[in-house]
Structure 1
Amino acid sequence: MAEPMHEITPTVSAQYRADLEEFERHDGRPAFVLNMTELKLLGIAGVGFFLDAYDLFIINPVATMLQYRLYGGGHLPTNLEGFVKAGANIGSVIGQFAFGYAADAFGRKAVYGKELMLIIIATILTLTTPTGTLSPDACLIYLGVFRILLGIGVGGDYPMSASITSDRSNIRKRGTMLSYIFSNQGWGSFVGSLATIIVLLCYKHAMEGRGETSKVDGVWRIIVGISLVPAFGTLYQRLTLPESTRFLSAQKLKHHDHANEAGDDIEELKKAQKAEEDIKMDNIPKGDKGEIENKTRAGDSSSADTSDVDEATAPVDVLVKKKAHFSEFVAYFSEWRHGKMLLGTCMCWFLLDVAFYGINLNQNVVLQQIGYDGSEGTPWNRLFKVSTGGMIITSLGFVPGYYASILTIEILGRKWIQIQGFLLAALFLGILAGEFHTLSKPAFIVCFAFLQFFFNFGANTTTYCYPAEVFPTRFRATAHGISAAAGKAGAIISALAFNTLSKKVGTPVILWIFFGCCIAGAFFTLLLPEVKGRDPDLVLAEEIRVRREARKAQNQVVKET
């Protein structure tokens, strides 16, 4: 006799799964079309990269202005100039390591926003540089020290915003969202040049008409201080940003009784975990089980604490979202299948930044070739030309390259974009290196514009996206921080060595070195899988399942013998 059919009432955990399914649902729109929630996330997370580019690249015109304020128009001391330009990158390495590990160890929400507070404090301290009382060299040291502090905040934003965005993004739009966030670098650089031009125009009468060159001291302080506006504008939103739907759902699922669940069309990861969760809950006394349910319904935040779960018996969905300890991080990446991906993300980012920052932190060489180096005219005219040249470079290559990535990343994939970006950047570096002294001004501008375009429609975007997409949630922020720190190490090497080497061997030889870095970057990309549509937590869950089955089989053999 057939059993009577009963209506099945979904448990609380089933409702969380339904919420998650709703979050992942395809709305039928192209990936680059964002809804209001995604636009809000873009504004909150993107401001960090806007400030990154603004603060890192604004140092070029600021260094030129300090020549007139501190050294009567003469060049800055080579070593101190390198220290000031590299200061933010030195700090970035520290910030990327520290904030990346903290985000995995203590949770995203507990840490997010603190890096922006550091940026604000460091910017204010930078503005206090006492150019009227300290010696010129001491002023540069003072400025460089606080730019290191600024760099710690800027560096911390890399793993934090990447992890926050990746955790909160629909998988089919994850790469697009990350690219949107990173594209704010282009706007930061563009606005930096535009702000410099506007402020210089405001000071034109004083500097040109009255010959008060010392007023340049006010110009650089204003353009540095402008960055405080977007920073203060998003600080509250960062500090109060709630956890993502996916992250909360995964955390709350672990204490629920799944015995009555049926008919839920949920993610494969959750389906694979159902049997293990049932076993775990069956071993809990009824009173304790009821208490767990009640705590979960009441929203008890302690139910989301996964720091002390048992690796051997805990449900898989708990393990893949569990907060990571350093020893677990080392154990995970000691396996070659995982370690090679970290090696790939680190080396690709390192090699890219050697070339990318080597050129962009020393734009005076490029500006000289296109006639915007400000080598002639009054101090105001020189500064205005340098700023105009910087905006031309940004407009031609930076912004278009970023948006080419945004529009195509979910179609072409990350791996294809990164490899072609490296190879085509190498092509144009080779042309610039081989014909550096013979290219006409229009030809040089065209080649340099294409170089910048393929940096950004290529590895400069994807090296940021890859660590946020290829590593599981448990290790994502730490791995992203390490990868970004490797990139900044390359930037530091370029900032400190470019001027010295170019004087010894010539700029074309330096460009050939950058050419070699891009070719090597394309080869290291082969270590990485394509991550379009790939859920690293599912991959980790399957690895855990296979490992457990192997352990069970081994134990069974031991029992039989």
Structure 2
Amino acid sequence: MVNKFLLRGLGFFNDAYDLSVINIINVILQDQYTKGVYTAQMKSNVSSAALIGAVLGQLTFGFLGDMYGRKSCMVATCVILIVGGILCAAAYGGSAVNTLWFLFVARGILGFGIGGEYPLAAASSSEDATSTADRNRRVALTFSLQGVGFIFAGLMGLLMVSVLDETKTQLEIMWRVLFGVGVLPALFLVYFRITAEEPEAYKTMLTEEVHLRTVRWTFILKHYGRSLVGTAGTWFLFDIVFYAQNLFTASILSVVGAKSTLRTIALQNVLISLVALPGYYVAVFFINRMGRKNIMLMGLTLMTIIFLVLGIGWHSISGNATVFIILFGLTLFFSNFGPNMSTFVMPTEMYPTAIKSTCHGFSAAMGKAGASVGSYGFALWVDNPSFGYIGTWYTFAGISLLALIVTWFCMFDHNGESSELDNEFKALLAQEDMETRKSFSHDTYAIEATPHVQRV
């Protein structure tokens, strides 16, 4: 039997691989089809398709996860990952342009499954915890497999470009194999998810008949609106930066330093991922020691500073690949030891069990909406002579600063037990029901007490 950590974490590894493998595939497709066919616009379309699908998946499965349970929904997302991955690997449209549009649709389907994993993995990981500290550590460890997925995607890209030549036929083999590999973890997981059980906290909630069927969005916004501004707003802003970086690292490296081969770009891409990866595990170590909000504030502050350095010194930094790899890698390190980890963990502690999946899914969806903005816009921004990379780095610095401000005013650590939030939620819901019944009774009495006027 696969343990609970791998049951959720391996799915997240799968998601990260599927999202980030487009990084090196973008360069491969551009070499195969040339910039005349794989234009900046088409690159933005293909890169952002999975993110747009993820927004829909997060909203849909966040809601369904609270309505129908974590288990059945995680089986469904696993199946969608398999179907979407197969469609990506088999993409064909009769011509280069049609094949790319087929890939756009297939990536959207894949993204729908990827998106569903976010709220379900987060909610179920937190609900199996034995204590507050264990809850944060479990969720953080599950999320840390995103970094492993990024590394694996980079290594697979490096392997493909090392064993195959850069002919059109072999370039096509490269990207199809890279997409196909992403199907394997989901194929492995689907049986174990079918035989898994619901988390205890969710089962307890069902026995008390307190779940999303009894809650209106007006209630959620009234009592948890500020928290939603914090979790959704920071995730939206941060992911504009984070996914623009991660999905286009290989494209950025192609313009840094001397003219590089595909193999050199793939190697440098792996090196950046290696610099970034420890950030996840430093965050896991400090998740309870520093607190999630402090980690987020620290990471955003350092990201803002490094982006300003990149913007100010771009003319000299762009000619030195080593300096760029260190600075760019550090922005990703402090993303992971910072807002990337905190935006995922904090919704699991800021919302009660009955609406946790829904609110986490909504927040994650706003994150992927931001990622779509970054993914779609990045290729267009850097190709604009009046904006370019310098304008992009300054924009990233400004967005990071804005996310820091929202974090300061709208985010909080909850160091108590989840049951405290659940009890508070039930009390608020009972109070709301009582007020509704009183209002209804008063209206009914007023109608009955109104004298009937006989029409003459």
TM over 0.5: yes
Distance 1:369 1:401, change over 3 A: farther
Distance 1:447 1:501, change over 3 A: same
Say which is worse superposed, 357-366 or 516-525, in terms of deviation: 357-366
CA–CA separation in structure 2 for the residues paired with 1:461 and 1:404 = 10
State the match for 2:115 in structure 1: 155
Q: CA deviation at 1:459?
A: 0.3
- Give, as a single letter, the amino acid of the residue that structure 1 aligns with 2:161: L
Distance 1:435 1:184, change over 3 A: same
Does 2:215 correspond to 1:328?
A: yes
Does 2:102 correspond to 1:142?
A: yes
Identity %: 28
Structure with higher helix content: 2
Q: CA deviation at 1:396?
A: 0.9
Distance 1:52 1:544, change over 3 A: closer
Task: Tell me the alpha carbon deviations over residues 28-76 of structure 1, each in whole angstroms, 9 at most, x when there is no partner.
Answer: xxxxxxxxx9x822211112221222111111222222234334x7661
State the match for 2:246 in structure 1: 360
- Give, as a single letter, the amino acid of the residue that structure 2 aligns with 1:353: D
CA–CA separation in structure 1 for the residues paired with 2:357 and 2:334 = 27
Q: CA deviation at 1:245?
A: 3.1
Distance 1:369 1:446, change over 3 A: farther
CA–CA separation in structure 2 for the residues paired with 1:391 and 1:146 = 26
State the match for 1:32 in structure 2: none
State the match for 1:516 in structure 2: 398
Q: CA deviation at 1:387?
A: 1.2
Asked if the contact 1:45–1:181 (Cα under 8 Å) also holds between the matched residues in 2, the reply is: yes
TM-score (normalizing by structure 2)? 0.88
Q: Equivalent of 1:109, from 71, 75, 94?
A: 71
1:118 aligns to what SS in structure 2? helix
Structure 2: tracts of 5 or more residues without a match? 443-456
Asked if the contact 1:124–1:225 (Cα under 8 Å) also holds between the matched residues in 2, the reply is: yes
Q: CA deviation at 1:546?
A: 7.1
State the match for 2:450 in structure 1: none
CA–CA separation in structure 2 for the residues paired with 1:117 and 1:484 = 21
CA–CA separation in structure 1 for the residues paired with 2:42 and 2:83 = 23
Aligned length: 432
Q: CA deviation at 1:512?
A: 0.9
- Give, as a single letter, the amino acid of the residue that structure 2 aligns with 1:84: V
1:531 aligns to what SS in structure 2? coil
CA–CA separation in structure 2 for the residues paired with 1:159 and 1:185 = 14
Q: CA deviation at 1:350?
A: 0.5
CA–CA separation in structure 2 for the residues paired with 1:237 and 1:457 = 31
Q: What aligned pairs does 1:26-425 form with structure 2 within 5 A after superposition?
A: 40-71=3-34, 76-130=38-92, 134-170=94-130, 171-203=132-164, 207=165, 212-248=167-203, 250=204, 304=206, 318=208, 322-325=210-213, 328-335=215-222, 337-364=223-250, 366-368=252-254, 370-371=256-257, 375-376=259-260, 382-397=261-276, 399-425=277-303
Q: Larger Rg: 1 or 2?
A: 1
CA–CA separation in structure 1 for the residues paired with 2:168 and 2:257 = 23
Q: CA deviation at 1:449?
A: 2.1
CA–CA separation in structure 2 for the residues paired with 1:74 and 1:384 = 22
2:215 aligns to what SS in structure 1? helix
1:174 aligns to what SS in structure 2? helix
Does 2:423 correspond to 1:462?
A: no
2:38 aligns to what SS in structure 1? coil
Asked if the contact 2:26–2:251 (Cα under 8 Å) also holds between the matched residues in 1, the reply is: no
CA–CA separation in structure 2 for the residues paired with 1:77 and 1:330 = 42
TM-score (normalizing by structure 1)? 0.72
Asked if the contact 1:370–1:445 (Cα under 8 Å) also holds between the matched residues in 2, the reply is: no
1:334 aligns to what SS in structure 2? helix
Asked if the contact 1:430–1:515 (Cα under 8 Å) also holds between the matched residues in 2, the reply is: yes
Distance 1:40 1:433, change over 3 A: same
CA–CA separation in structure 2 for the residues paired with 1:124 and 1:352 = 30
CA–CA separation in structure 2 for the residues paired with 1:44 and 1:546 = 34
Does 2:352 correspond to 1:472?
A: yes
Asked if the contact 1:410–1:532 (Cα under 8 Å) also holds between the matched residues in 2, the reply is: no
Q: CA deviation at 1:156?
A: 0.5
- Give, as a single letter, the amino acid of the residue that structure 1 aligns with 2:193: R
Task: Tell me the alpha carbon deviations over residues 231-272 of structure 1, each in whole angstroms, 9 at most, x when there is no partner.
Answer: 111111112210223444x35xxxxxxxxxxxxxxxxxxxxx
Asked if the contact 1:341–1:527 (Cα under 8 Å) also holds between the matched residues in 2, the reply is: no
State the match for 1:379 in structure 2: none
CA–CA separation in structure 1 for the residues paired with 2:109 and 2:425 = 40
